[in-house]
């Protein structure tokens, strides 16, 4: 490997690295504005100037300069400092001095670098440039006067998000960042634009003027808005979650975050269930916990176990599902289900049959990708971004069976439904090293899901997706709780009913919903007990409401679609009289005379890990570890299929769960999006 000297210290580096990367490798921090390690190199801010020998006797932009063997790099010479000071002075010529009213204040790259390289006064007496504000949609607030034309946002939108909406128009002093005719940015990843903006030109519109970064309590947690479990940081002030930002997790979200995960936070403050309710004479009235428990216990005790049904929702943590599973199994209840979307996935076919086995990072190694019954752009925008990243690198086949949606990258359309999938059943091995299937809920969450699952598995087997060192059979879930539920066996026992059977008319006499709002409760005539955080479909239909905690308000384990168990932390406390969900079940178990054997969350987790060891493997995704033992032929149940096309279960990206539906920001995005797609259809 080539060796360079950084400030006199020798360091080995990979061929092809830039001077900036080599300096970083040596631990020297190089100031930068336009350079971003996940975007293409622009080299237009000039802040990363260094001195390089051999080379011309002038400072060089290190971000765009390839490092060479035996190169000497100096990052702290007087010449470098003076050059950077010059650049900083130029950047500040037109940058307004409005840090006190700027939302980026306190976490601004320009502010930080100005501490190191800024002058204490200005030599510039002319008027500063002023730039008209631009409209970029309901999520991005612009203050374009602050823009330093780093073009990070343009590159992000074009390269990562895959929507060429942003551009740098004009030139020189008149250069401006804008969307074409000031349309909204049509991306599910638009919030990242504000993150990558090094100054306060693009900020988060829903959170404008709401907080200062230093007054927030930061809690590292896990996102539950989709099944990826993106790494997030929950920033709270007092009892309110002010914002959610991504954390770096190369395995899942890199450093991006989907808009819903980020901007649905105002939903945590609205439509909250903060006290128990009991239906008296057809109306829900406020009750105490004791009254609510008495109502629940009385009803459950008076009902035969086979007439009781338990359904877990999309946002439940593993702890409360485990508590519910233990409690109701102890009571002899068999109708227990975590698949409220009616999916056919079942743990009996092996864990690999419902996991994203190639792992999300593994998408980057794949050389043939087939999307079956899924629209990853709205079901998991960051998976879509990964596929796009893979596509940009080239030499990959992407095929789609299902909806023909705009995925931000071109693909071969292979058909709409089962018939198209059937062609691949006896396809024979594909001439690719690492092919993958991505199977979405559109394929398996339907009455003939088991048969489709069997067909897809057969096709996967025929095409050689699963081999030593590679498992390309991937299931993309849409709910954060689903894999955890399947892992612990939160499915109907022998003779039990599935979720969809439970909510049929006469399907059950008592329904216990753990935040299950995505299921149609219109037919059921059961006594409905709803435990959850938001007043949504479930609470409206409920006969007893038990107020629980939202995902920012309880510690919890979530298993993402890869089978990666992740631990979320509590950022704030539950609202009003609400309690952490597992403690409600623990208290209820006393009333029911079936006391759960744990008093603390640690004991509960111990029990969970003892019963299901996969929950103990925090941050571990099995990937292809068990590929050899995975029998694709055993997946699913062969049977009749209908030729209905695969339809993604996510109708509206912005409104998939109770928190998002309570959010004003999401409602605004949704209506704007609906309007835009209506206009496009006309």
Partner 1 sequence: MFIKRIFTWWNGATFGALLTIAQRGRYVGEDDFGSKYYEAKTIRDGDAGRRRRWVIYKGYAEPSKVPAEWHGWLHHTFVEPPTVAPLKVRAFETEHLPNLTGTRFAWRPRGSLTRGGHRPAATGDYEAWKPE
Partner 2 sequence: MSVRRLAKIQPESFAFSEETRATADWWISKYPEGRLASAVIPILWLAQKQEGWVSEPAIRAVAELLGMPVIRVFEVATFYTMFMLEPVGTKALIQVCGTTPCRLRGAGDIMEVCKTKIGLKDHLSADGNFTWQEVECLGACANAPMAQINDYYFEDLTADSMAQIIDDFAAGKTPKPGSYAGRHSSEPEGGPLTLTDPALYDGSLAKPVILPNQPAPEPVEGGAA
Name the binder of 540 from partner 2, partner 1, none, CB < 5-8 A by kind.
Answer: partner 1
Among positions 75, 179, 190, 641, the unique one binding partner 2 when judged by CB under 8 A: 179
Check if the beta carbon of residue 668 is closer than 8 Å to that of residue 425: no
Taking the complex as a whole, the smallest distance from the CB of residue 206 to partner 1 amounts, in Å, to 15
Q: Which helix (H) or strand (E) holds 219?
A: strand 217-222
- Radius of gyration in angstroms for the set of CA atoms belonging to the chain, rounded to a whole number: 27
Name the binder of 172 from partner 2, partner 1, none, CB < 5-8 A by kind.
Answer: partner 2
* Per CB under 8 A, 180 contacts partner 2: yes
Instruction: Considering only residues 108 through 167, tell me which ones interact with partner 2, judged by CB under 8 A.
Output: 158, 164-167
Name the binder of 651 from partner 1, partner 2, none, CB < 5-8 A by kind.
Answer: none
* Per CB under 8 A, 187 contacts partner 2: no
Specify which residues 202 forms β-bridges with. Answer: 142
Taking the complex as a whole, the smallest distance from the CB of residue 671 to partner 2 amounts, in Å, to 24
CA angle at 227 for the pair 225 and 232, rounded to the nearest 5°:
55
Tokens 């959610």 -> residue: 244
Name the binder of 45 from partner 1, partner 2, none, CB < 5-8 A by kind.
Answer: none
CA distance 573 to 637: 45
Dig out the tokens for 462 from the structure.
């025929």
Name the binder of 606 from partner 2, partner 1, none, CB < 5-8 A by kind.
Answer: none
Helical pair 581-591 and 318-330, crossing angle rounded to 10 deg: 10
Taking the complex as a whole, the smallest distance from the CB of residue 94 to partner 2 amounts, in Å, to 13
CB nearer to partner 1: pick between 12 and 274:
274
CB nearer to partner 2: pick between 168 and 625:
168
CB nearer to partner 2: pick between 238 and 410:
410
* Per CB under 8 A, 679 contacts partner 2: no
Question: Where along the sequence are the contacts to partner 1 (CB under 8 A)?
Answer: 237-240, 268-275, 277, 283-284, 534-535, 539-540, 545, 575-576
CB nearer to partner 2: pick between 169 and 618:
169
Check if the beta carbon of residue 292 is closer than 8 Å to that of residue 531: no
Taking the complex as a whole, the smallest distance from the CB of residue 170 to partner 2 amounts, in Å, to 5
CB nearer to partner 1: pick between 240 and 637:
240
Strand 397-401 versus strand 466-467 pairing type: unpaired
CB atoms within 10 A of CB 634: 13
Burial grade of 621 (CB within 10 A; 0-12, 13-18, 19 or more):
buried
Q: In what order do the strands lie in the sheet with 3-6?
A: 9-12, 3-6, 72-74, 49-53, 60-61
* Per CB under 8 A, 172 contacts partner 2: yes
Report DSSP letters for 285-297, one per residue. Answer: EE--HHHHHHHHH
Specify which residues 178 forms β-bridges with. Answer: 167
- Which residues have C-beta within 8 Å of that of residue 567, sequence separation ≥ 6? 222, 555, 556, 557, 618
Among positions 99, 168, 397, 430, the unique one binding partner 2 when judged by CB under 8 A: 168
Name the binder of 164 from partner 1, partner 2, none, CB < 5-8 A by kind.
Answer: partner 2
Taking the complex as a whole, the smallest distance from the CB of residue 672 to partner 2 amounts, in Å, to 19
* Per CB under 8 A, 170 contacts partner 2: yes
The footprint of partner 2 (CB under 8 A) covers: 158, 164-172, 174, 176, 179-181
């Amino acid at each position: 490997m080539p060796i360079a000297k950084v400030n006199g210290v020798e360091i080995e580096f990979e061929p092809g690295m830039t001077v900036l990367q080599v300096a970083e490798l040596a631990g020297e921090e190089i100031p930068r504005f336009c350079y971003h390690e996940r975007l293409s190199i622009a080299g237009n801010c000039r802040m990363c100037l260094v001195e390089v020998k051999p080379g011309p006797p002038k400072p060089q932009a290190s971000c765009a300069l390839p490092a060479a063997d035996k190169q000497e790099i100096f990052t702290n010479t007087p010449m470098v400092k003076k050059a950077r000071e010059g650049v900083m002075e130029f950047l500040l010529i037109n940058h307004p001095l409005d840090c006190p009213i700027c939302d980026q204040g306190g976490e601004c790259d320009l502010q930080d670098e100005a501490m190191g390289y800024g002058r204490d006064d200005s030599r510039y007496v002319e008027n500063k440039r002023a730039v008209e504000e631009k409209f970029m949609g309901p999520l991005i607030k612009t203050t374009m006067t602050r823009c330093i034309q780093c073009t990070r946002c343009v590159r992000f939108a074009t390269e990562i998000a895959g929507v060429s909406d942003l551009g740098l128009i004009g030139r020189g002093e008149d250069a401006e960042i804008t969307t074409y005719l000031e349309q909204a940015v049509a991306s599910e990843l638009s919030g990242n634009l504000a993150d990558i903006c090094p100054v306060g030109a693009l900020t988060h519109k829903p959170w404008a003027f709401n907080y200062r970064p230093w007054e927030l309590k930061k809690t590292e947690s896990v996102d539950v808005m989709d099944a990826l479990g993106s790494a997030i940081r929950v920033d709270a002030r007092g009892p309110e979650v002010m914002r959610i930002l991504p954390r770096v997790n190369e395995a899942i979200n890199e450093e991006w975050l989907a808009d819903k995960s980020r901007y649905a936070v105002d939903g945590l403050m609205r439509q909250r269930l903060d006290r128990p309710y009991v239906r008296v004479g057809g109306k829900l009235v406020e009750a105490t916990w004791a009254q609510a428990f008495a109502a629940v216990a009385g009803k459950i005790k008076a009902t035969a176990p086979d007439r009781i049904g338990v359904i877990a929702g999309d946002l439940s943590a593993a702890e409360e599902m485990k508590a519910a599973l233990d409690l109701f199994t102890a009571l002899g209840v068999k109708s227990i289900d975590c698949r409220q979307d009616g999916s056919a996935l079942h743990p009996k076919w092996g864990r690999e049959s419902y996991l994203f086995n190639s792992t999300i990072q593994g998408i980057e190694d794949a050389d043939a990708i087939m999307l079956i019954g899924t629209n990853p752009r709205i079901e998991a925008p960051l998976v879509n971004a990964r596929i796009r990243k893979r596509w940009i690198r080239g030499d990959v086949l992407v095929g789609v069976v299902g909806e023909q949606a705009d995925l931000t990258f071109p693909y071969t359309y292979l058909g709409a439904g089962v018939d198209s999938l059937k062609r691949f059943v006896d396809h024979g091995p594909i001439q690719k090293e690492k092919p993958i299937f991505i199977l979405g809920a559109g394929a398996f969450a339907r009455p003939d899901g088991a048969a489709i699952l069997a067909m897809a598995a057969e096709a996967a087997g025929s095409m050689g997706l699963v081999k030593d060192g590679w498992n390309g059979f991937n299931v993309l879930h849409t709910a954060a709780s689903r894999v955890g539920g399947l892992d612990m066996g939160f499915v109907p026992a022998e003779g039990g009913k599935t979720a969809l059977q439970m909510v049929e008319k006469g399907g059950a006499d008592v329904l216990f919903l753990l935040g299950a709002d995505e299921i149609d409760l219109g037919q059921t005539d059961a006594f409905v007990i709803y435990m959850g955080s938001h007043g949504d479909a479930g609470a409206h239909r409920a006969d007893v409401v038990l107020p629980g905690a939202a995902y920012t308000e309880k510690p919890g384990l979530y298993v993402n679609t890869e089978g990666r168990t992740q631990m979320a932390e509590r950022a704030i406390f539950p609202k009003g009289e609400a309690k952490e969900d597992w403690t409600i079940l623990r208290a209820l178990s006393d009333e029911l005379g079936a006391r759960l054997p744990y008093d603390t969350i640690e004991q509960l987790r111990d029990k969970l890990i003892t019963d299901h060891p996969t929950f103990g493997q925090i941050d571990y995704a099995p990937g292809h570890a068990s590929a050899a033992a995975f029998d694709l032929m055993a997946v699913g149940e062969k049977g009749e299929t209908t030729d209905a096309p695969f339809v993604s279960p996510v109708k509206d990206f912005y409104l998939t769960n109770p928190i998002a539906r309570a959010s004003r920001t999401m409602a605004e995005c949704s209506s704007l999006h609906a309007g835009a797609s209506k206009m496009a259809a006309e």
